[in-house]
Amino acid sequence: MKELLLKRKSRFILYLIACLLPVVDRFFTNFAIALLIGSVQVGSMDYFIKICLITIGLIILGVILFIISRFMRISFMRDTLLDVRLMAFDKIINSSYKSFSQKSKDTYISNLINDINIIEREFFLSLINIIYNAGIYIVSLILIAFLDFKFALIAFAASIILYVTSKLFEKRTIALQERVSDENEKFAVDMSNTFNGLEILKLNRIEDQFLSKALKSVTGLERKKLDYNIYTDGQSRILELLGFSFLIISLIYLSSLFMRGITLTEGTFMVQLSNSCVWSIIAVLPRVNQLKSSVKIFDKITKYEEDTSNSLTKDKEFEFEKEIEVKNLSFRYGEKEVFKDVSFKIEKVKKYLIKGPSGAGKSTLIKLLSMIYDDYTGEIKVDGVDYREIKEKSLNDNVSFIYQDVFLFEDTIFNNIALYKPYTEEEVLEAAKKSGLDSLLSKKENGLYEMLLENGKNLSGGERQRISIARAIIKNSKLLFIDEATSSLDEELGRKIEETILSLNSTVIAISHRYYEGITEKYDYVLEIKNGQVNQYDGNEYFMEVAI
C-alpha cells in the first residue's frame, strides 16, 4: 500500500496538506473560544465585540479551509481506489489456471466488491483521521510544552499509556477484519449457488431448505461484522475511559495553575489543548488498528501468492515441432492415485482420442498435458524441453480448448471469435468459414457484427461449438484439447462438428463418449485409460478389435 500511495508523490503531499488544513481551523477556533471566555475577565464590551468579530472571521476561514481540503483530497482518493480495483482485477486475470481454479468465481467477485468497499471505508477513513488527529496531537503537545513543559510531560506519558493499551487490541482487530472478508466470500459463493439453481429449487419445491441455508449464511456474515464492531467499539470505550482519567488529572493540575495566577484565557486554552491532545490520540489509536487490518485486506486481493510447487525457472518457449513425450508419469489427486508410471508420446498434427470409464482420469490427463497440473512425478517434455521449464503464457498462446459448455460474451460474433485480439476482418471471416459458420453469418443481418445475447442465448448448440472451433483456428493453435464437445448435440450436428475438428491442421487430444461411424475411426490413435495406466492403440485397430 505504501508504494501505491507514493505512486503520485506530489499529489500525496497535497493530500497530506489537505488533511492537515482542518487542524489549522481547529486551533484557530480553540484560540477564539479561549479569547471569548477570557474577555469576561477583561470586562470590556469593546474588547468582547472585537473578539466576536475575530471568532466569526475564523469560523468563515474554517469553512473555506474545509472546502479546499475536500477538493484537494477527493481526486487522490478516487485515483488510488481505481488503482486498487485495477490491481485486484489484474491479479485475477493474470493468475495461472491452477491458482484461479482453487477458488470459486464468486470469491473473486467478493474481492472486487466487498473487500474493496472495506478498503474504501476503513483505509481512507482511517488514514484521514490518523493524519488529522496526529496533526492535532503534535501541535497540541508543542503548544503545551511552550506554555508549561511539566504539563507536556504528563500529556506525553498519558499518550504512551494509551498507545500501549491500543497495541493490545491490534492483532485481534486485524484477525476479526480478515474474518469479515472471508465470510463475505463465503456468503457470495452461497448466494450464487442458490440463484444459479433457482429454477431447479422452484421446480422441486425445495425453496424452504435453501432459504434456511441462506439465512444461516446471512447470520454468519452479520455475526462476524458484529464481533468486529463490538470489539473495535469496546477498544474505543476503554481508551475513552483512560482519556477521562487523564482529563481529570489535567484539570486538577490546571486548577493549581489558576491559583498561581494564570489568566482565564491561558487556562481555557491549556484545557482545550490538553483535551485535544488526549482525545486526538484516543481517536487515532483504534484507527491505526483498522488501517492495518484494511492493509491486510489490500495485500490479500492484490498480491500474488508465491507458487512454490515448481523449483525450476520457467524461461523456455513452447516449441512443438515433433512430439510431446510423457515418461514414467505418476499423479495423485488427494488420496487417490490416478496415474502410475505412465509413458506414451503425442506426435505433431496427429489426432488422439482419450477413452476410459467415468472417473478414470480422462480430464486429469488433459490438465496434465495442458500444464494446468504440475505436481506430478516423472517427465512431460515437448521436443526435449521439460514442461516445468516452459513459460505458461507461451503454452497458452499455442493451445486452445473446446468444452461442452462454450462461454460466449454479450458482444459481436467478431469479438467472440477474435477474443478482443487485433485480428483483421479477413482473418476472422476465414476462421468462421473454416469452422462452418457460413450459414449462420448469411442468416444474420449484420454478419460478423451481429450482437449475441447473454452467453449466446440466440445461438444453437452447434453454432456455439463452431464459434469455439473458430477461436482455435484463428489462433492457429498447435495443440487443441477437446472435452466432450459434442455430447449435448444431436447425431447430425455431432458428426459435422467432429468432422470439422478432425480436419484441422492441429494436434488434437479429445475426450468423447460418442461414436460416429465412419468419422471416429479417423483418429490416428486412441489413449485408453484403465487402472491408472494409459494404453496407446492405433485408431483403426482399436475400433476394429479392442472396442468390440
Q: Residues 414-453: pLDDT tens digits?
A: 988 888 888 898 888 888 888 788 888 888 888 888 888 8
Instruction: Spell out a b/e string for 133-153, using b for 16 or more CB atoms within 10 Å of the CB, else e.
Output: bbbbbebbbebbeeebeebbe
Its pTM surpasses 0.75? no
Kindly state the average pLDDT of the residues 233-259.
78
Q: Residues 456-500: pLDDT tens digits?
A: 777 887 788 788 888 888 887 888 888 887 776 678 877 887 888
Strands 533-538 and 323-333: unpaired
What's 425-481 look like in SS3? HHHHHHHHHHCCCHHHHHHCCCHHHCECCHHHCCCCHHHHHHHHHHHHHHHCCCEEE
What torsion do the CA atoms of 379, 384, 389, 393 make, to the nearest 10 degrees? -110
C-alpha 513/C-alpha 16 separation (Å) is 65
| Selected residue with higher pLDDT from 47 and 441 | 441
Interacting residues of 440 by C-beta distance below 8 A, sequence separation 6+: 413, 459, 463, 466
Domains and CATH numbers, the chain: 75-302 (1.20.1560.10), 323-546 (3.40.50.300)
Kindly state the average pLDDT of the residues 23-42.
71
Contact status, residue 52 vs residue 165, Cβ threshold 8 Å: no
Q: Residues 119-148: pLDDT tens digits?
A: 777 777 788 788 888 888 888 888 888 888
Helices 9-42 and 124-147, interaxial angle, to 10°?
A: 40
Q: What is the pLDDT of residue 328?
A: 92
Taking alpha carbons only, the member of 159, 154, 162 closest to residue 254 is 154
Q: What is the pLDDT of residue 325?
A: 92
Kindly state the average pLDDT of the residues 190-212.
65
Kindly state the average pLDDT of the residues 83-93.
78
pLDDT above 70: residue 358: yes
Q: How far is CA 476 from CA 376, 398, 441, 506, in A?
A: 29, 7, 21, 8
Q: What is the pLDDT of residue 207?
A: 61
Q: Look over the chain and give the mean of its residue pLDDT values, rounded to a whole number.
A: 79
Q: What is the pLDDT of residue 308?
A: 41
State the residue for C-alpha cell 449435448: 488
Q: What is the pLDDT of residue 347?
A: 92
**Total count of residues recorded for the chain:** 548
Q: Residues 282-305: pLDDT tens digits?
A: 777 777 777 777 787 788 778 766
pLDDT above 50: residue 548: no
Q: Residues 300-312: pLDDT tens digits?
A: 778 766 554 444 4
State the residue for C-alpha cell 459434442: 486
Kindly state the average pLDDT of the residues 363-388.
88
CB atoms within 10 A of CB 25: 18
Contact status, residue 440 vs residue 463, Cβ threshold 8 Å: yes
